[in-house]
């Protein structure tokens, strides 16, 4: 598993890790804007050795130039299939710009997204407005998405497959974090081999260095759908999980996250009954959940990282309050 450290300048420090799966190569890029303050976003490139490469996520618009440069180098003239887990601007905000830069270099590019998310890639104005309202200054760090031509944007179907020579990518619609969320399973097209799941934001965020894990659940969270999506991914029995936030981890993290979601919901219900505000609710979660506590040590020291974890708390609080109001 050779590791290459490359620096292309601009707003991102791009780390490339090359993993040989036998039937394909998997490249891992750091696509975190420098101003974020901590490594937070990964882009994955799948090279099955044939006529096309796949890019899982593009990261935000502010790092599009660096990501496009890395993709073009690996693609080496081949077609590029961009697959977004969802269109939130830290995952797919750079899709339009990356596609445009690659097209300028003569590459054929297709962008694949959930049917509910695809229109926001073509016209991201509503997405950008909502992102500013939800994320504040963090949205400015990510940058404003550029529109992609409608001819380049394609809708996925649950269960559809994209074949890249020896590699196959299967789409699994996994709503809950967002209605337009999907996950991707990388597996050999023929025979045996390690299977990698790209869960986007449907299985939390994981830091390999601290082994910290926490939900990524901003409002409006549908926790019932989130749990069902998590069950579907567990049933797939992947070998490893390639988290967009922040790296690769073992498959058992899916079960750990299922336990974690129960702890969060129970803690939030108790906190709301006591009249605690989001900050105090976060403190209560940190006291009960060692995985979140580890991740908070990693991200909580930066204003943008702390905002991401607090937004997850707000999502749980909003969900519980809506459920209580429906009785």
CATH code (residue 95): 3.60.15.10
Please tell me what DSSP assigns to residue 151: G
């420098």: which residue's tokens?
A: 34
> What was the pLDDT predicted at 17?
87
> What was the pLDDT predicted at 14?
58
- Flag residues of the chain having pLDDT under 50: 1-13, 327
> What was the pLDDT predicted at 11?
44
Q: 57 burial class (0-12, 13-18, 19+ CB within 10 angstroms)?
A: buried
> What was the pLDDT predicted at 144?
98
Q: Name the residue range of residue 120's domain.
A: 3-255
> What was the pLDDT predicted at 299?
93
Is residue 112 a contact partner of residue 156, using CB atoms and an 8 Å limit? Answer: yes
| Neighbouring-strand partners of residue 79 | 52
Structural domain count, the chain: 1
Tell me whether residue 12 is in a domain: yes
The per-residue DSSP string of 207-259 comes to ETTTTEEE----SS--HHHHHHHHHHHHHT--SEEE-SSB-EEETTHHHHHHH
Tell me whether residue 265 is in a domain: no
Tell me whether residue 195 is in a domain: yes
> What was the pLDDT predicted at 19?
95
Peptide bond into 246 cis (omega under 30): yes
> What was the pLDDT predicted at 327?
44
Peptide bond into 302 cis (omega under 30): no
Tell me whether residue 125 is in a domain: yes
Tell me whether residue 106 is in a domain: yes
Tell me whether residue 281 is in a domain: no
Strand, helix or coil at 125? helix
Is residue 221 a contact partner of residue 318, using CB atoms and an 8 Å limit? Answer: yes
CA distances from 122 to 111, 147, 156 (A): 10, 5, 15
| Neighbouring-strand partners of residue 206 | 213, 246
> What was the pLDDT predicted at 15?
62
For 255-282, b/e burial (b = at least 16 CB within 10 A) is: ebbeebbeebbebbbebeeeebeeeebb
- Cβ count within 10 A of residue 305: 23
Tell me whether residue 216 is in a domain: yes
The CA distance from 316 to 309, in Å, is 11
CA distances from 172 to 107, 191, 217 (A): 27, 21, 19
């Amino acid at each position: 598993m050779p590791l290459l450290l490359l620096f292309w300048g601009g707003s991102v420090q791009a780390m490339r890790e090359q993993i040989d799966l036998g039937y394909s190569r998997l490249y891992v890029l750091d696509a975190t804007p420098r101003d974020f303050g901590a490594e937070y976003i990964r882009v994955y490139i799948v090279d099955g050795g044939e006529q096309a490469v796949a890019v899982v996520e593009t990261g935000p618009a502010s790092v599009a130039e660096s990501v496009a440069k890395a993709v073009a180098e690996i693609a080496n003239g081949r077609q590029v299939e961009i697959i977004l887990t969802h269109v939130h601007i830290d995952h797919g905000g750079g899709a339009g710009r990356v596609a445009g830069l690659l097209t300028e270099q003569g590459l054929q590019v297709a962008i694949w997204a959930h049917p509910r998310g695809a229109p926001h890639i073509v016209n991201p104005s509503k997405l950008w407005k909502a992102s500013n309202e939800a994320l504040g200054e963090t949205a400015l760090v990510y940058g404003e998405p550029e529109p992609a031509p409608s001819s380049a944007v394609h809708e996925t179907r649950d269960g559809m497959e994209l074949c890249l020579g020896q590699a196959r990518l299967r789409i699994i619609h996994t709503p809950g974090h967002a209605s337009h969320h999907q996950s991707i399973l990388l597996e050999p097209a023929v025979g045996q081999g390690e299977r990698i799941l790209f869960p986007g934001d449907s299985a939390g965020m994981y830091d390999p260095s601290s082994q910290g894990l926490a939900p990524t659940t901003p409002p409006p969270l549908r926790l019932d759908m989130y749990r069902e999506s998590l069950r579907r991914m567990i049933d797939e029995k992947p070998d490893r999980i390639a988290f967009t936030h922040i790296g690769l981890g073992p498959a058992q993290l899916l079960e750990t996250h299922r336990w974690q979601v129960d702890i969060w919901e129970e803690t939030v219900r108790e906190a709301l009954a006591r009249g605690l505000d989001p900050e105090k609710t976060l403190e209560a979660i940190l006291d009960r959940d060692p995985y979140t506590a580890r991740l908070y040590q990693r991200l909580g020291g930066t204003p943008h990282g702390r905002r991401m974890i607090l937004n997850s708390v707000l999502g749980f609080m909003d969900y519980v309050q809506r459920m209580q109001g429906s009785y």
